[in-house]
Chain A
Amino acid sequence: MSMFLVFIQKAISQGISILLGANGEIITEKSGNLNLGIPGIMYIGGVSGLVGAFFYENAVSSPVPLVGFIIALICSLLCASLAALLFSFLTITLRANQNVVGLALTTFGIGFGNFFGGSISKMAGGVGQVSVSVTASAFQKSIPGLSNIPVVGTLFFSYGFLTYLSIVLVFVTAFILNKTRLGLNLRAVGENPATADAAGINVGQYKYFATIIGGAIAGLGGLYFVMEYLGGTWINNGFGERGWLAIAVVIFALWDTRKACLGALLFGALSILYMYLPGLGRSTQELFKMLQYIVTIVILVVTSMRKNREDQPPESLGLAYFREDR
């Protein structure tokens, strides 16, 4: 029982980065922008929070956790938004191909993350790895009292702020997308921008808005990883393929953030399940890690076979919109 508890707890902590990334990508894709730069943006979001906290902790003699927390959060949101702004500028204003810009952004972002994450400590004249334990402690702080309740406490109340934020965001996003004018308009932009335009919706503005908000949320996924998961340090390429898994979860969830919640948990569980299954050798463990991608492929194929109108990607996903094209 306790092993199962730990498994679920670990699966959740594996899944949160993916969930934040998927949530951001869903908002972005609902506007018709396929942002393959999300993996890069997540690196940028993570490292900029880390660097912000690092400078703060180095500048004062006794850093306050809450201040570091706020600085890291702001830095992360700001830099991830800027990266998404760059994507938006190139794809919406300059109408460059989304796949191409996204992949360039991912190349850039991963390099950016690894460069600053790996050498910031050295560049600031220090030695060894970057470490922001004070700020990280604020991110890792679980809910006092409640987390001590046996079982329930471990299962539900043992996580940091970003974990709860990610769950809240899932429902807020779902509510906005499905129940508000903002959401209706945004979905229309992603389905059929010409129609949205004719209905008086400012297509470019919505795309910018969704892509930047989506980028900021995805960036938090990176921040979660460096702060809550790693405890305020950097491992080169440690973030791994979580960004791509986030994009996989979007497909898995059929563009619904609530299903993405389950998807992220499932992918999180799959990525550590091998440790809990007896009799797996090191090599078979690696095959096991393939499962998340295979599951995604199967879902992709099955939805394309069923052709259910409600399960399809936003109709204009990946296409630039130019009014006089009509």
Chain B
Amino acid sequence: MDSNNVIELRGITKRFGAVTANEDVDLTVKEHEILSILGENGSGKTTLMNILSGIYRPDEGEIIVKGTPVTIHSPKDALALNIGMVHQHYTLVNVFTAAENIVLGLEGKQVLDMPQILKTIRNITDSYGFELDLNQKIYDMSVSQKQTVEIVKALYRGADVLILDEPTAVLTPQETQKLFTVLRNMKEAGKSIIIITHKLNEVLTISDRVAVLRKGKNAGTLATKESTVQLLAENMVGEKVSLDIKRDEPTNQKLKLKVDDLNYITPDGHKMLDHVSFEANSGEMLGVAGISGSGMKELLEAIAGIQTVESGVVHYYKDDDNEYTLTGMDPSQIRKLGVALSFVPEDRLGMGLVGSMGMTDNVMLRSYQKGKTPFVDRDSPKERSEKLIELLEISTPGTETPVRRLSGGNVQKVLVGREISSRPEVLLVAYPVRGLDIHSSYNIYNLLNEQKKRGVAVICVIEDLDVLLELCDRIIVMNNGRITGERDAKETTKDEIGMLMTSSGEMQSSTGKGL
């Protein structure tokens, strides 16, 4: 046994009902290292770390900390062993200050001595270079500030092993760099850091070793120095990845949708849409790139009539060249106009579907108003569901099984299937493959491509830039609610799109970054 192994997991298995999240997983963590845990969504990375941090208990397996087998029943137990975790969904109390959150749940003198506590926290923040206002309330903070609170909280509790779940998912590149600097400082100081991620490049940038999980099982541990993106990707998905997404030339393009100067400010004052204008054509796949929270969600919802905007107009050109204005209408009014607009939202079970209802009731969600009687017709939706099951090979016990019980890929097929089956002329899609395995993802890409071929104007937001570049014909990039650039997908590069995602506008990027 290696003596500087801080943690060893042996044969960890965890089941949730019929689903096995982890099966016989082994893992070691050393001192002075940054370890990446790499895996696709649903590969059991987070579950494994939740076991280590005391949130879940394993069904089988052993946890050994510094040579001693231990039982971790709660996060408190984990912290007693100096293991701290920063979750993807931050566990902070909104109405508390940063300092209150940091001392939450700790033992100590019953009456809180705030000046002393603030002093102790400042020692930590100063030594690693965090920037943090300790008296600020969490509800006033940005995502990256909240993350800082979480990390400081774990350190304040004496964490020597720090687990970070997808820490960069919501950060801008600058914030990511800052985070990495801090993490390196911590490693130098002797801490062990575990990063859960599915971003291959980050793994190579920050970590010393990388452990790969595939479908809940071990798929090898590599030293970062010896690995490449290709190697990691192969380990992660278990077969050679060819990102060969077929892309046909757009045919018969015609102006379908014209978005003109949309503006939207959230109730709490964030400008989510800032003079957004663009055009979309039939038979074309238009990609929208941007860091999460840059306004893409709001943009699609505004077009679909779910989000009301402050100003601006959405023009729609029907096949017969008649022009309609969609702004100010809700989805049912848009439908009544005869406009064939479909929308696959980001939050499938929270917005696109009703999780507790079966396929029949979900398939009729956008069409239940048909017919003049006050009664709903469930016969034709049932037939449509059956057809969808056959056509898209949806695996479900039946049309009445709550869709919540289906796997992520099947849920998405139900949603996309319903939206496509209404034969749209414009199809809006947000994060269509999030949480899906590779095969389901390709199924979805094919479905989108078929629609494009049919002459539909497809507008899709996709977070993976590789996919975006290979799937789309044209790409617009958003940042801070603005469109910062438009590129031909075949001519642009990942770097260029990445730059636009963080720039403040076309002006800056076209004059170069040396400004």
Contacts and interface: CB of A to CB of B under 8 A. Distances in A.
Q: In their complex, do chains A and B touch, with some C-beta pair under 8 Å? A: yes
A309 B76 CA distance: 29
Contacts of B96: 184, 187-188, 191
B91 A179 contact: no
Q: Which of B93, B106, B112 has the largest count of A CB atoms less than 10 A from its CB?
A: B93
A182 interface: yes
A237 interface: no
Nearest to A312: B95
Contacts of B76: 200-201
B82 to A, nearest CB: 13
Given A180-B111, A191-B94, A309-B139, A199 B75 contact: yes
Interface in B96-127: 96, 100-101, 103-112
A312 B74 CA distance: 30
Interface string A269-312: 00000000000000000000000000000000000000001101
Given A180-B112, A197-B75, A309-B137, A188 B104 contact: yes
**Size bracket, chain B contacts:** 20 to 34
A195 B112 contact: no
B79 interface: yes
A315 B16 CA distance: 28
A179 B87 contact: no
Nearest to A192: B93
A94 interface: no
A199 B105 CA distance: 5
B500 interface: no
B56 interface: yes
B112 A198 contact: no
B317 to A, nearest CB: 40
Contacts of B35: none
Nearest to B80: A200
A191 B139 CA distance: 13
Interface string B158-191: 0000000000000000000000000000000000
B51 interface: no
B333 to A, nearest CB: 28
- Among A188, A198, A324, chain B packs the most CB atoms within 10 A around the CB of A198
Residue among B16, B91, B137 with the most chain A CB within 10 A?
Answer: B91
A196 B139 contact: no
Nearest to A194: B91
A179 B112 contact: yes
Contacts, number: 79
Given A198-B75, A199-B91, A309-B95, A184 B112 contact: yes
B92 interface: yes
B112 to A, nearest CB: 6
Interface residues of A, number: 26
Given A198-B87, A200-B75, A184 B94 contact: no
Best-buried of B91, B96, B103, B104 by chain A (most CB within 10 Å): B104
B401 to A, nearest CB: 21
Contact of B93 (A180, A188, A324): A188
A41 B226 CA distance: 68
Contacts of B108: 181
A310 B97 CA distance: 12
A308 B110 CA distance: 30
A185 interface: yes
B94 A182 contact: no
Contacts of A179: 111-112
Best-buried of A184, A196, A326 by chain B (most CB within 10 Å): A184
Most buried by B among A188, A194, A199, A309: A199
B237 interface: no
Interface string A194-219: 11111111100000000000000000
B65 interface: no
A191 B104 contact: no
A198 B56 contact: no
A191 B103 CA distance: 16
A195 B92 contact: yes
Nearest to B74: A200
A182 B110 contact: yes
Interface of A: 179-182, 184-185, 187-188, 191-192, 194-202, 309-310, 312, 315, 323-324, 326
30 contacts: A179-B112, A180-B112, A181-B103, A181-B107, A181-B108, A181-B110, A181-B112, A182-B110, A184-B96, A184-B100, A184-B103, A184-B104, A187-B93, A192-B92, A192-B93, A195-B93, A195-B101, A197-B75, A198-B55, A198-B91, A199-B91, A199-B105, A199-B106, A199-B153, A200-B75, A200-B76, A201-B104, A310-B95, A323-B55, A326-B55
